[in-house]
Chains A and B, each alone.
Chain A
Amino acid sequence: MTTTPITEDSVNETETGNSSRKPRPGWGRIAAWAVMIIIMIATLFPFYWMLRTALSSNNALYSGASSWLPVDANLGGFARVFGMQTGEEAIAAGGAGQPVNFWRYLLNSVIVATLVTVGQVFFSACAAYAFSRLKWPGRNTVYGLFLAGLMVPTIFTFLPNFVLIKELGLIDTVFGIALPTMLMTPFAVFFLRQFFMNIPLELEEAALLDGSGKLGNFFRLILPMASAPIATISLLTYIGAWNDYFWPLMVSYSDNSRVLTVGLGVFRSQAPQMGPDWSGLMAATLVAALPMLILFALSAKRIVNSIGFSGIK
């Protein structure tokens, strides 16, 4: 599989070519917009419903199940999520009464996603440079081996990697969660190599003539010139690491290393006797989702345009 789900600018290229087409008004176009708007509403409604429920109080949800607005609006759900209610208060409001420490989960998520992103992107960039701009015997063989790694679904490596992390004594640590993807992924190497290949060789040669070394070139020339794809893959890696559930679930046993996704699962399983604490659960869900939604709001254009194909003739 030499294709990748991502390239920069693949959408932009043809944008101008198509904009000359005149919009043809008519019923067909109106109907098409109607369908599109319905799809957009269906896409966004669950987010609204999450917010609406998080701001409601549990006891009022029973009588106001079909109200479109928050019922008996308050921030109690958020208070339970951040452990700011006492056990009795929480139980009275329909919560589980057990303390959950979302601040800790939030911190763990930030640490894991940051370690994975910084490490993976930097080390993959180093390797991509060695694969694209340095000449050394065996280069293509080693690169081919890396590419073959794309064929192995990460999920297959989870069990043996768990055994390895256990042997390294890193179970239940944030470092243990981050380590397997901190050094490289075949995709990141492949992705960055493609961009490094496209940087004109002459620029590098000119820098070499000016007395710059190849290592210096990497930091002063290649990395800055590839800053756009590096930003793109960093964002995608961060979002992916933040949303990961299966692997952290294996490695975490306690609040020491639980990330938000795993913490959410714990929060959900602590359902109080009367039924789930929906208001608290939706507040927790919102807390887990919001950082990525904000990140997306800030970088939507880059992320949206990064989705496309490369490697297709």
Chain B
Amino acid sequence: MTSSEASTGRLARPGRNIGDLKLAMVMIAPALVGFLVFLLWPTLRGIWLSFTDFNLLTEPTFVGLNNYIRMFGDPVFWNAAWVTIQYVVINIGVQTVMALLIAVLMQRLTRSTFVRSIVLTPYLVSNVVAALIFMWILDTQLGVGNQILGWMGIDAIPFLSQESTVIPTIALINVWRHMGYTALLIFAGLQTIPETVYEAGRVDGASEWSMFWRITMPLLRPILALVLIMTVIGSFQVFDTVAVTTAGGPVNSSRVLQLYIYDMAFGRFQFGYASALSVALLIILLIITVIQYRMTRAGETDLN
């Protein structure tokens, strides 16, 4: 085999359309097993289980659309969907603005790896760690956050234990962890805008503020759109922070979809219904991706 390749000197040998099939099969085998067994099969099985009454102990039986009908009449599901959307709106809204601010500041001020590293540091610790640190900082009696509020003459706020503040608080904790990463993504996008555009703007006497709106934002749009699609999808999957800080409470005010799914599966062993909830979340994510992609024309660039 090797000698025939050597004689032609080509990797692709016309006339033998089997090519490197044997070697390719060996090299791809572990990944293919991983793909089929732990990605494709679970995806199909998850969809199948959503049409059954599976409870982990007995064999699943087909129940048709029962789980979905139940879901539509389940107030806790609708509440969880609503809570999750509130979380995503606050989380993504604040995070995107902060990340843009940091990225533009970095672009204008410094390319130092040190500054970028500091901004990224929270991303290196787990959600669990971030959640625990902020539980402590925001503790009603002893937390330094409430101490500082006290100095400003504001009464202590039970951030994570009252219904009105719990979701914004969790959303902002995750902003702290993710904004640096998002900022670096946007920063990388800013590097694709040629400096000459800004120079031209400056010659025309444009201020930094108007250059940001007239040059940076329009040219950044495709990248910002992709960042949004990625971060929104990640944001919808919030679980860790809620599970550690509030476990869904008080009442159901922070019971996000993933937590409801987890409780349904591992608290009540209703795997069938939990699977239906997962499919609902999957569909929501697909719809959002398509809408965002269309609306923001993420695939096109104005840099031509």
**B-binding residues in A (CB < 8 A):** 1, 3, 5, 10-11, 13-15, 17-19, 21, 28-29, 32-33, 35-36, 39-40, 42-44, 46-47, 49-50, 53, 61-62, 65-66, 119, 123-124, 126-127, 129-131, 133-137, 139, 142, 145-146, 149, 151-153, 155-157, 159-164, 166, 179-184, 186, 189, 201, 204-205, 208-209, 211, 213-215, 218, 239, 242-246, 249-250, 261, 264-265, 268, 275-276, 278, 281-282, 285, 288-289, 292-293, 295-296, 300-301, 303-305, 307-309, 312-313
Does B65 count as interface, using CB distance less than 8 angstroms?
A: no
Tell me the chain B residues, 31-46 only, with Cβ under 8 Å from chain A.
31-35, 37-43, 45-46
Cβ of B126: which chain A residues have Cβ within 8 Å of it?
Answer: 242-245, 261, 288-289
Judge whether A160 and B133 touch: CB under 8 Å.
no
State the Cβ distance, B47 to closest chain A Cβ, in Å. 9
Number of inter-chain CB pairs below 8 Å: 322
Tell me the chain B residues, 108-138 only, with Cβ under 8 Å from chain A.
108-109, 111, 113, 115-122, 124-130, 132-134, 136-137
- Dominant secondary structure of chain B at its interface with chain A: helix
Judge whether A304 and B113 touch: CB under 8 Å.
yes
Among candidates A126, A135, A137, A160, residue contacting B28 with C-beta atoms closer than 8 Å: A126
State the Cβ distance, B78 to closest chain A Cβ, in Å. 20
> Which of B126, B187, B240: most chain A Cβ within 10 A?
B126
Closest 9 CB pairs of A and B: A183-B34, A308-B188, A135-B19, A243-B126, A127-B31, A160-B42, A184-B31, A134-B20, A184-B34
Minimum CB distance partner of B277 in chain A = A159
Minimum CB distance partner of A240 in chain B = B126
Does B87 count as interface, using CB distance less than 8 angstroms?
A: no
Does B295 count as interface, using CB distance less than 8 angstroms?
A: no
Cβ of A205: which chain B residues have Cβ within 8 Å of it?
Answer: 9-11
Bound CA–CA A134/B1 (angstroms): 14
Bound CA–CA A134/B278 (angstroms): 38
Judge whether A14 and B192 touch: CB under 8 Å.
yes
> Which of B42, B266, B275: most chain A Cβ within 10 A?
B42
Cβ of A189: which chain B residues have Cβ within 8 Å of it?
Answer: 31
Minimum CB distance partner of A129 in chain B = B27
Minimum CB distance partner of A209 in chain B = B6
Among candidates B42, B119, B192, B262, residue contacting A157 with C-beta atoms closer than 8 Å: B42
Contact indicator per residue, chain B 268-304, by CB within 8 Å of chain A (1) or not (0): 0001001100100110011001000000000001000
Bound CA–CA A245/B244 (angstroms): 10
Bound CA–CA A127/B35 (angstroms): 11
Judge whether A156 and B132 touch: CB under 8 Å.
no
Cβ of A285: which chain B residues have Cβ within 8 Å of it?
Answer: 129, 132-133
**A-binding residues in B (CB < 8 A):** 2, 5-6, 9-13, 17-21, 23-25, 27-28, 30-35, 37-43, 45-46, 49, 54, 56, 98, 101-102, 105-106, 108-109, 111, 113, 115-122, 124-130, 132-134, 136-137, 139, 141-144, 147, 176, 180-181, 184-185, 187-189, 191-192, 194-195, 208, 222-223, 226, 229-230, 233, 237, 239-240, 243-244, 258, 261-262, 265-266, 271, 274-275, 278, 281-282, 285-286, 289, 301
Judge whether A183 and B142 touch: CB under 8 Å.
no
Cβ of B244: which chain A residues have Cβ within 8 Å of it?
Answer: 245, 264-265, 268
Given the interface pairs A126-B31, A184-B30, the reply to whether A264 lies near B132 with Cβ below 8 Å is: yes
Cβ of A46: which chain B residues have Cβ within 8 Å of it?
Answer: 122, 130, 133-134, 137, 176
Bound CA–CA A137/B120 (angstroms): 43
Bound CA–CA A124/B24 (angstroms): 13
Cβ of A181: which chain B residues have Cβ within 8 Å of it?
Answer: 38
Bound CA–CA A179/B49 (angstroms): 22
Judge whether B2 and A208 touch: CB under 8 Å.
yes
Cβ of A265: which chain B residues have Cβ within 8 Å of it?
Answer: 128, 243-244
State the Cβ distance, B20 to closest chain A Cβ, in Å. 4
Judge whether B185 and A288 touch: CB under 8 Å.
no
State the Cβ distance, A209 to closest chain B Cβ, in Å. 5
> Which of A119, A285, A295: most chain B Cβ within 10 A?
A285
Among candidates B13, B24, B124, B240, residue contacting A139 with C-beta atoms closer than 8 Å: B24
Minimum CB distance partner of A28 in chain B = B208
Among candidates A161, A163, A218, A268, residue contacting B271 with C-beta atoms closer than 8 Å: A163
State the Cβ distance, B260 to closest chain A Cβ, in Å. 13
Bound CA–CA A288/B240 (angstroms): 15
